[in-house]
Amino acid sequence: MATYTITSAIAGLRFSMKQTEKGDSVFVKNAVVAYELTASAFNEITDIDYPSRHTYTVSSLTRSGATATATTSITNSLATGDTVTIAGADQTEYNGNFAITVTGGTTFTYTVSGAPTTPATGTITAVGGKTTVPGCVYIDGRMFVQAITGEIYQSGDENVTTWVSTDFITPEKEPSNAVAIAKSINYLGAFKQWDIEFFYNAGNASPGSVLSVVDSSYLKLGCATADSILEFDGGVIFMSKRDNLQRSREIHVLNGLTPKKISDANVERILNGDDLATVYSCYLSTGGHQFYLLTLKTSTITLMYDFNNGLWYQWSILTAQTAQTITAGNLTSSGTTATCTLTAHGFADGDPVSIAGANQTAYNGIVNVTRSDANTFTYPIASGQTTPATGTLTATGYTESYFPAVAYATYQNLDLILHETNGIIYSLEPLTFQDDGIPINVMLRTPNWDNGNNERKIVTRLRLIGDRVDTDVMVRYYDDDYVTPSNYRRFDMSTQKTQLTRLASTERRAYELKHTDNTALRVEALEQDFIQGK
């Protein structure tokens, strides 16, 4: 397998890729550089009319007072106000990042400090030029990119390496900044701060763009962040915003040129609470479902939308904490309950905890603990165990955070995701119920129930309908709008009737189910019996 190196003037920028119509090559770009990948090569696009940063050889660099004048060996595409990086001058005062003033097709000036020798000597280069917004669109044989200043440039016909400086079109219906471009059906969508404009291939002759505006489909709907935009077989999905207060963020899907809002009030509260400093979006198609994942890293939340059922979920991942040592004699059992005494253990009721090191293996495993107090917790165990447990005993808790998937692909019937930081590619397996040996925390929460009145109801029985599996599902309830939970109780899913009794009384109640065992979980309903009070 061939390996190619990408050289970018600025590290850490998001890349976009698009295959050409005949599959002959792949266009790869970020804000400052672009490449063409073919079966045998990976070449940077060096045409100076492509709107990116370019490296120019400086044939002459002189100084008059505080003004340095640089002459490039070829005509450059630099513009007044651009920041250019000068390097290679033996007189170091000439080197650095400078705002320039263009004085001709090959010359520009900038302000230099000190009194370096003139002319400058050395092998001198100037790096600068335009930058582009995220996204690239391929329509009818041409690749399109958009400069941050708004111009949408086009490649040559069936040739992504050739570009013409005059062949562009600029969205002009609203004076708002360019955010990104994406393709919906066979239209180019220019996503801006406060609006979206659409373009189609009208076959216009050069000079100028082949594109024309679709006047009938202008949207007064902006894009909150380019990192939320995803193209998929059902259209384009993105995080929108409606006003300059940025408190109206929503998730929309473009089906063709028509937007449909899919977020609800709960999701929008999360969107509006984040600073959008780091956002990841990812499309998954697995297990017969299509998902849109949106990670808000500042809020440490990953939201997931299921296109099949129209529901939102929150996805997370657990990471192991530092193991805590259990002192000899402090892990005991009585009947089917193990009790651990561990000073300031830090575990909450229902938390998954890995117990390890016991010579009596029945004590070991990942368990959901019942918190007794700050120094004691219990968990179920098979009866008849030696007590106290012996060995080098440890208890390890877990920290829950956002789901770190940043890219998705399929390969030979495998659904693959790329981890945000470690570079590892993971496979999504429907019959694997742990995450690389770490438990998966499944939590289901019901809406509030009040039977249509605010009178007291005595709950006499609660039954969980689902597959009979040798596992426990934990349940607790809230009687005060999700503020104060009860302690968890356990459903034994291996029994004929999975039910609990004596669940106190309430005016309004919501239930929460939790499962972290290394087993399948499929539940259908939560049935409740109650007596209506007055």
pLDDT in tens, 238-273: 999 986 655 689 999 998 899 999 999 999 999 999
Express each pLDDT in 85-134 by its tens digit.
999 999 999 999 999 999 999 999 999 999 999 999 999 999 998 999 99
- 157 found inside a domain: yes
Q: Give alpha helix (H) positions in 73-216.
A: none
CA distance 400 to 352: 11
Q: Give alpha helix (H) positions in 22-124.
A: none
Task: Label residue 282 by pLDDT band (50, 70, 90).
Answer: very high
pTM (two decimals)? 0.88
- 99 found inside a domain: yes
Which two tokens mark 390?
């012996």
Task: Label residue 233 by pLDDT band (50, 70, 90).
Answer: confident
Does residue 115 share a domain with residue 160?
Answer: no
Q: In what order do the strands lie in the sheet with 83-89?
A: 96-99, 83-89, 122-129, 53-64, 67-72, 107-111, 101-102
- 465 found inside a domain: yes
Confidence (pLDDT) at 417: 92
Does residue 205 share a domain with residue 158?
Answer: yes
Last residue of a domain, one of 396, 412, 434: 396
E runs forming strands in 73-111: 83-89, 96-99, 101-102, 107-111
Quick count: other Cβ atoms within 10 Å of Cβ 7?
A: 8
Of 226, 421, 411, 409, residue with least CA distance to 317: 421
Task: Label residue 181 by pLDDT band (50, 70, 90).
Answer: very high
Report how many domains make up the chain.
4
Q: Any idea what the CATH number is for the domain that residue 373 is in?
A: 2.40.30.20
Does residue 358 share a domain with residue 229?
Answer: no
Express each pLDDT in 442-493 by its tens digit.
999 999 999 999 999 999 999 999 999 999 999 999 999 999 999 999 999 9
Does residue 362 share a domain with residue 488?
Answer: no
CA distance 33 to 8: 6
> 3 Cβ partners below 8 Å, 6+ apart?
none
Compute CA distances 364 → 335, 338, 522, whole Å: 16, 11, 26
CA distance 117 to 121: 9
Last residue of a domain, one of 129, 149, 165: 129
Does residue 266 share a domain with residue 180?
Answer: yes
Half-sphere exposure of 137 (CA within 13 A, CB side): 29
- 416 found inside a domain: no
* Candidate from 13-17, 227-231, 308-312 with smallest mean pLDDT: 13-17
Does residue 502 share a domain with residue 381?
Answer: no
- 381 found inside a domain: yes
Does residue 265 share a domain with residue 187?
Answer: yes
Q: Any idea what the CATH number is for the domain that residue 102 is in?
A: 2.40.30.180
Give me the domain span that covers residue 57: 53-129
Does residue 237 share a domain with residue 164?
Answer: yes
- 423 found inside a domain: no
Quick count: other Cβ atoms within 10 Å of Cβ 531?
A: 10
Does residue 487 share a domain with residue 391?
Answer: no
CA distance 146 to 188: 11
Last residue of a domain, one of 86, 113, 129: 129
Task: Label residue 14 by pLDDT band (50, 70, 90).
Answer: confident
Of 25, 29, 27, 3, residue with least CA distance to 14: 29
Are 147 and 132 contacting, i.e. CB atoms less than 8 angstroms apart? yes
- 345 found inside a domain: yes
Which two tokens mark 380?
């179920």
Quick count: other Cβ atoms within 10 Å of Cβ 64?
A: 9
Q: What is the rounded average pLDDT for all residues in the chain?
A: 93
Does residue 265 share a domain with residue 202?
Answer: yes
Does residue 141 share a domain with residue 124?
Answer: no
CA distance 414 to 393: 38
Confidence (pLDDT) at 1: 56
Q: Any idea what the CATH number is for the domain that residue 487 is in?
A: 2.60.120
- 289 found inside a domain: no
Confidence (pLDDT) at 287: 83
Task: Label residue 498 by pLDDT band (50, 70, 90).
Answer: confident
CA distance 99 to 78: 11
Express each pLDDT in 380-426 by its tens digit.
999 999 999 999 999 999 999 999 999 998 888 889 999 998 888 99
Does residue 508 share a domain with residue 449?
Answer: yes
